[in-house]
């Protein structure tokens, strides 16, 4: 982005690690100004990056912070957790946490930020979903939240398409992030994609950066798998 161009502002959740951090780094390189939202301390130190501490599973806190975010050109909701359990051993609290973080937080942030994008005639929204939304043993509660995100994105995309705002979902397959080592997913090992390696966070970040660009203006309401071929048999 040239120095005389308007610096676009993106809000990115889950900015302190994994996919969210990779997205922030890629967008900063592309010239964006970033407000990174995460419960964990900031792990990026750049003049164009501002850290906002927030527990996204707390609805009132999320609403308050969202109301204070101004002139946002893009929202990327990358924060997430994975809890696994087979039917018969489902954990209601884990299911509630995933719903609050993946679905409720996305709703609150979008509801606060998208209307101003519509008014200005430009905006980009990307939710990080999961290929698991198609269903996988032991991950029914997680899959349900990610499937809900896709349904919301498609619904909202239709509403705001005439106003220059796009809403999409990027759904990674098994990705090389700290989440893979989370004890909460013990007994549910990631499935290696056909390409023979895990997806890298920077690969997801590159796709998200493109979706936020002017060149992606005609892409909206889509669920884009980035899974190394894992979805080819479905």
- Those residues with Cβ within 8 angstroms of residue 96's Cβ, 6 or more apart along the chain or in another chain: none
The SS3 of residue 13 is strand
Find tokens 């809403």 and name the residue.
167
**Which residues are registered as beta bridge partners of 122?**
none
Cβ atoms of 150 and 129 closer than 8 Å: yes
Give the C-alpha separation, 197 to 192, whole Å.
6
Q: Could you report the per-residue pLDDT of 36-84, keeping only the tens digit for each?
A: 999 999 999 999 999 999 999 999 999 999 999 999 999 999 999 999 9
Known catalytic residue at 142: yes
pLDDT tens digit string along 108-144? 999 999 999 999 999 999 999 998 888 889 999 999 9
Is the pLDDT at 219 greater than 80? The verdict is yes
3-state secondary structure of 65: helix
What integer pLDDT is reported at residue 180 of this predicted model?
61
DSSP states of 161-223: GGGTEEEEEEEE-SBSSGGGG-GGGTT-PPPPPTTSSPBPHHHHHHHHHHHTSGGGTT--S-E
Residue 6 pLDDT: 80
Identified catalytic residue from 22, 142, 188, 199? 142
């Amino acid at each position: 982005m040239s120095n005389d161009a308007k610096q676009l502002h993106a809000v990115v959740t889950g900015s302190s690690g994994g996919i969210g951090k990779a997205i922030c780094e890629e967008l900063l390189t592309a010239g964006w100004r970033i407000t990174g939202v995460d419960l964990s301390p900031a792990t990026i130190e750049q003049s164009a990056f501002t850290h906002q501490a927030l527990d996204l599973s707390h609805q009132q806190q999320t609403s308050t912070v969202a109301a204070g975010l101004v002139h946002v050109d893009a929202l990327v909701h990358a924060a997430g957790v994975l809890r696994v359990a087979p039917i018969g051993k489902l954990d209601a609290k884990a299911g509630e946490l995933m719903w609050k973080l993946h679905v409720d937080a996305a709703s609150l942030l979008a509801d606060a930020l998208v209307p101003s994008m519509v008014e200005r005639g430009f905006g980009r929204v990307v939710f990080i979903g999961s290929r698991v939304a198609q269903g996988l043993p032991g991950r029914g509660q997680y899959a349900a939240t990610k499937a809900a995100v896709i349904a919301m994105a498609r619904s909202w995309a239709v509403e705001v398409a005439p106003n220059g705002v796009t809403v999409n979902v990027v759904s990674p397959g098994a990705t090389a992030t700290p989440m893979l080592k989370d004890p909460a997913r013990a007994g549910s090992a990631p499935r290696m994609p056909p390409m023979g390696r895990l997806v890298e966070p920077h690969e997801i970040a590159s796709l998200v950066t493109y979706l936020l660009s002017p060149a992606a203006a005609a892409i909206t309401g889509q669920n884009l798998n980035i899974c190394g071929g894992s979805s080819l048999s479905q």
